[in-house]
Chain A
Amino acid sequence: MSRVPVAEGIFTSSSDEPQLVGGRCAACGIVTFPAQDACPRCASTDMGKHLLSRRGRLWAWTTQEFPPPSPPYAGPTGDAFVPYAVGYVELGNEVRVETRLTQTKDLRTGMEMELVLVPFRVDDDGNEVVTFAFRPVDGAA
């Protein structure tokens, strides 16, 4: 079984220190995640790739306690579904990223978080699909 990312190009594959791959506007400097072809502030189409900070602060969060409708949701459903948490994490002063969180308990707005890669599902070919998530930095909980 090999590990494959949920999508190509949205995070670097280093299992120790992965980073999200965002976009940065060459004209006005704004950072986005995911990357996009045009700037949401100045409408420039001169957008480049930009590696995001691995650490940030939890800005908003909730839990997902029932399986989202499938499709588009491709994760475990029925008895295999495990509730998870979702939030926006603010990375530096650059960008807020919507992300899974690694735990549903002991979450606090403003706590320090860091990026990890976590198993998401097993695909039809038996590959382990991994995705990005944020977990509380040790001692933050």
Chain B
Amino acid sequence: MSDKRANNSKIVKRLLLTVAGMFAFGFALVPLYNVFCEVTGFNGRTNNEPAAVSQHEVDKSRTVRVQFITRTAQGIPWKFEPEIKEVRVHPGEVRVVNFLAANPTPDDMVAQAIPSIAPAEASLYLNKVECFCFNQQPLAAGNDAKMPMQFYIDPDIPAHITTFTLSYTLYDMTANATPEALALLESTE
């Protein structure tokens, strides 16, 4: 009987370890998902780090249509629009598109733009050299700003992608502003 007891507790221990392991795995799915998305372009995220300036030759033989969509999340009544709704670029060619933001509220606010690309596959080939989405964007009450986004498309982009859409959603980050954003906000006043 005592043999069996010992054996029981051995199995129970292993099963409890599995339970703990699976609980940890649930949380491990978060970084795994992020890595997976980065590698495969799954879910249309773009890099949050600036890409190196294009060394590629411009592929004049084809053009890709890049469309821009903007929206603001709940609780941030900013105006937020691209200067131009759509551009046609050759792969490898560096372009700048400006986004216009205005803070009509009586409060100083800080916002963060979150990008997403459809179809998701295209996100692997969009390289942003500079983007307002890399940092939080402060805007004093009543002010407006022109926010640049400089990008080029990797010439390796598959032939079947002729159009893709880059969307930005603006979130209110005033409550969670970074020190850099707050410093910028003070310097404008």
Asked if chains A and B come from one complex, the reply is no
Residues of B within 8 A of A (CB): none
